[in-house]
Amino acid sequence: MATKSKQKIKPLRLAKAWSYSPAPESASIAQIKDQYELFINGKWQKPKRGAYLDSINPANEKKLYRAAIAESEDVEKAVSAARTAYDKYWKKMPAAERGKYIFRIARLMQEQARELSVMETLDGGKPIRESRDFDIPMACNHFFYYAGWADKLDYAFSNRKAKSLGVAAQITPWNFPLLMAAWKIAPALATGNTIVLKPAETTSLTTLKLASIIEEADLPAGVVNIITGAGPTGSALVRHGGINKIAFTGSTAVGKLIQQETAGTHKKLTLELGGKAANIIFSDAPIDQAVEGVVNGIFFNQGHVCCAGSRLYVQESIAAVFIQKLKDRMATLLVGDPMDKNTDIGAINSAAQLEKINYYIRLGKKEGALHYQSDALLPKKGFYCRPTLFTKVAQSSRLAQEEIFGPVLAILTFRTEDEVIEKANNTPYGLSAGVWTDKGSRIFNMSRRLKAGVVWANSYNLFDPASPFGGYKESGYGREGGWHGLLPYVTF
Ligand code: NAP
Ligand code: MG
């Protein structure tokens, strides 16, 4: 007689029943220049040594624009512009006036939301549905939210008077370029700091567009400076003696370097780093919603999310049914042109990132896990990866421990609550987690014991500007968003 775990579950194979006509967003709405300079002291300035780097569209590998490489002389100029602007205007400006500037930026971003969405998708490869419905509106909301805090700082910290720090150096990654810039710029401005920001080299476009919006908003020259370039530009910024604060979002490896670099200095530091989130499904969970939550957590946005639910823990009694339902849903996911409004999984951000993902897929097979991939058709040009899962994954395997940053899900099973908490907490990271269950008391118990900055219950990847976000352990420290997001930018 077949045991329960060997039971055959019939696949549904819904995919073949559905096909959509192409529904591409128009690229022509985005006015992309061939070349972008550095935005320093309110002017577009050529880099001192005249070097530029190309950014491509990862969906078709075509060059999109080139951006200046800021070297140490340019970093010097940007930091000194930010210092002058801080001393001359920004720290003296009444808080309510600062707030008006931030509101103005938010409104201009809203007005240009469609162009920003198209730019984000062309430059980074994420589906237009995601840039249009999540990245850009959420970036605008962060400016609106922190604009409201500017003149209320005296009420934010009871019996304490908050003072700004001075010049903030901010470094952002490629997965949510505009949103990460908003997370950093909006609270820094609201608290009265000036800024030098460096976006990631593969996705500088929307941050450069934000610089023109800031120009249009008529912010005093030098309050926000945007410098482009690769790792060495970021490193020169971090090492500069004239900055008071560093806000970094990126990999744990670079975060550790920055921590070493700033040890023993006066610089205040916040780090938002990698993750390996556990999405935990109990047998009493609403199964179909949980399947959708898992898909949203790891496959949408190509798994290019620091809080991606990349480890799935399913309670043993429902594992076979759940995994089959998940495979059925994976078969319906459309991989392809990120500009198509039907696309679920767009392009992987770069050739190097695709190689990293494929390395982990090969590694998972070598480690003895069982591999499953949907049979989605992929475009011939560009960097793409089918949604992938592994079952029979060992807790100690690299597949279950390391951040892949791609649409690759490691599935493990558990029997009891204590067991899954121990397993979920057993990685170097602690950024986020998901719990799916019908029991409220279990949600409270789990969210108390899971070492994760965010725990979503019967949902996944929900954000709000008023809600803080950040990690435990090697996922970094400090919080962005909400009242907590003001703290890294003030002193008392
Ligand atoms: P990354 O390689 O660490 O790069 C992040 C930023 O740092 C980029 O602007 C990068 O420039 C710059 N950089 C590189 N080397 C540097 C150095 N030595 N000193 C200073 N800056 C340096 O990370 P990524 O690959 O872009 O982003 C993916 C990572 O970000 C993932 O690990 C993900 O989990 C994490 N992430 C975390 C959060 C969060 O809130 N916790 C949010 C989003 C992403 P170039 O790109 O030009 O090299
Ligand atoms: Mg690009």
Q: Do 407 and 324 share a structural domain?
A: yes
At a CB cut-off of 8 Å and minimum separation 6, what does 399 contact? 360, 363, 364, 367, 369, 390, 393, 408, 410
% of the chain exceeding 70 in pLDDT: 96
In angstroms, what CA-CA distances link 72 with 50, 168, 230, 433, 440? Answer: 13, 17, 12, 40, 54
Amino acid at site 109: M
At a CB cut-off of 8 Å and minimum separation 6, what does 336 contact? 343, 345, 346, 376, 377, 378, 379, 384
Structure tokens at 452: 């994760």
Q: Do 245 and 285 share a structural domain?
A: no
Residues 406 and 202: their CA atoms lie apart, in Å, by: 16
Q: Which atom of ligand 1 is nearest to the CA of 306?
A: 34
Q: pLDDT of 276-297, one tens digit each? A: 999 999 999 999 999 999 999 9
E-strand stretches of 290-334: 311-315
Cβ-contact 239, 261 below 8 angstroms: yes
Mutate to test the pocket of ligand 1, among 175, 178, 401, 472 (most ligand atoms within 8 A of CB): 175
Q: Do 228 and 155 share a structural domain?
A: yes
* Res 5: pLDDT: 46
Q: Do 292 and 227 share a structural domain?
A: no
Cβ of 431 closer than 6 Å to ligand 1, yes or no, is: yes
* Res 193: pLDDT: 98
Report if residue 5 sits inside a domain.
Answer: no
Report if residue 4 sits inside a domain.
Answer: no
Structure tokens at 339: 């500009």
451 has pLDDT over 80? yes
Q: Do 294 and 254 share a structural domain?
A: no
Cβ-contact 349, 35 below 8 angstroms: no
Report if residue 124 sits inside a domain.
Answer: yes
* Number of independent structural domains in the chain: 2
15 has pLDDT over 70? no
Identify the CA nearest to 118 among candidates 377, 339, 317.
339
Where does the pLDDT of residue 19 fall: very low under 50, low under 70, confident under 90, or very high at 90 and above? confident
* Res 342: pLDDT: 95
| Burial class (CB within 10 angstroms; exposed 0-12, middle 13-18, buried 19+) of 477 | middle
Cα-Cα-Cα-Cα torsion 249, 250, 254, 257, nearest 10 degrees, comes to 10
**For residues 82-102, average pLDDT:** 97
Where does the pLDDT of residue 1 fall: very low under 50, low under 70, confident under 90, or very high at 90 and above? very low
In angstroms, what CA-CA distances link 487 with 164, 190, 410, 480? Answer: 10, 11, 36, 9
Q: Do 444 and 309 share a structural domain?
A: yes
* Res 293: pLDDT: 97
Q: Which residue has the higher pLDDT, 9 or 477?
A: 477
Q: Do 242 and 332 share a structural domain?
A: no
2 has pLDDT over 60? no
275 has pLDDT over 90? yes
Report if residue 227 sits inside a domain.
Answer: yes
17 has pLDDT over 90? no
Q: Do 255 and 361 share a structural domain?
A: no
The closest ligand to the CA of 171 turns out to be 1
Amino acid at site 159: N
407 has pLDDT over 60? yes
Amino acid at site 144: F
The CATH number of residue 143's host domain is: 3.40.605.10
386 has pLDDT over 90? yes
Question: Which residues are paired to 457 by β-bridges?
Answer: 435
Q: Do 440 and 392 share a structural domain?
A: yes
Query: Is beta strand 278-281 parallel, antiparallel or unpaired with respect to 163-164?
Result: unpaired
Identify the CA nearest to 218 among candidates 125, 134, 111, 102.
102
Structure tokens at 360: 């982990």
The CATH number of residue 428's host domain is: 3.40.309.10
Q: Give the residue whose CA is nearest to atom 13 of ligand 1.
A: 231
Mutate to test the pocket of ligand 1, among 246, 251, 298, 360 (most ligand atoms within 8 A of CB): 251
Helices (H), 333-432: 351-366, 398-401, 417-424
**For residues 53-64, average pLDDT:** 98
Q: Which atom of ligand 1 is nearest to the CA of 230?
A: 47
Report if residue 2 sits inside a domain.
Answer: no
The single residue of 37, 71, 306, 385 carrying the catalytic annotation is 306
Identify the CA nearest to 140 among candidates 173, 167, 117, 172.
117
Report if residue 14 sits inside a domain.
Answer: no
Cβ of 204 closer than 6 Å to ligand 1, yes or no, is: no
Identify the CA nearest to 164 among candidates 301, 268, 74.
268
Report if residue 238 sits inside a domain.
Answer: yes
Residue 169: give the domain boundaries.
35-273+475-491
13 has pLDDT over 60? no
Question: Which residues are paired to 15 by β-bridges?
Answer: none
Per the annotation, the verdict on 272 as an active-site residue is yes
Structure tokens at 123: 């430059």
Q: Is the dihedral of CA 155, 159, 165, 169 positive or negative?
A: negative
Q: Do 323 and 192 share a structural domain?
A: no
Cβ of 222 closer than 6 Å to ligand 1, yes or no, is: no
Phi, psi for 162 (deg, rounded to 5): -80, 135
215 has pLDDT over 90? yes
Identify the CA nearest to 174 among candidates 339, 27, 304.
304
Where does the pLDDT of residue 12 fall: very low under 50, low under 70, confident under 90, or very high at 90 and above? low
* Res 158: pLDDT: 86
**DSSP state letter for 132:** I
Q: pLDDT of 145-166, one tens digit each? A: 999 999 999 999 988 999 999 9
Q: pLDDT of 317-357, one tens digit each? A: 999 999 999 999 999 999 999 999 999 999 999 999 999 99
Where does the pLDDT of residue 219 fall: very low under 50, low under 70, confident under 90, or very high at 90 and above? very high
What average pLDDT does the structure give for the chain? 96
Cβ-contact 490, 149 below 8 angstroms: no
Cβ-contact 410, 371 below 8 angstroms: no
Range of lowest pLDDT (10-14, 39-43, 194-198, 268-272): 10-14
Report if residue 464 sits inside a domain.
Answer: no
Q: Is 477 left (phi over 0), alpha (psi -120 to 50) or beta?
A: beta
| Burial class (CB within 10 angstroms; exposed 0-12, middle 13-18, buried 19+) of 332 | middle
Cβ-contact 171, 178 below 8 angstroms: no
The single residue of 120, 272, 403, 480 carrying the catalytic annotation is 272
* Res 20: pLDDT: 85
Structure tokens at 193: 């700091």
* Res 4: pLDDT: 45
The rounded radius of gyration (Å) of the Cα atoms in the chain is: 23
Cβ of 231 closer than 6 Å to ligand 1, yes or no, is: yes
Q: Do 181 and 118 share a structural domain?
A: yes
Q: Do 57 and 106 share a structural domain?
A: yes
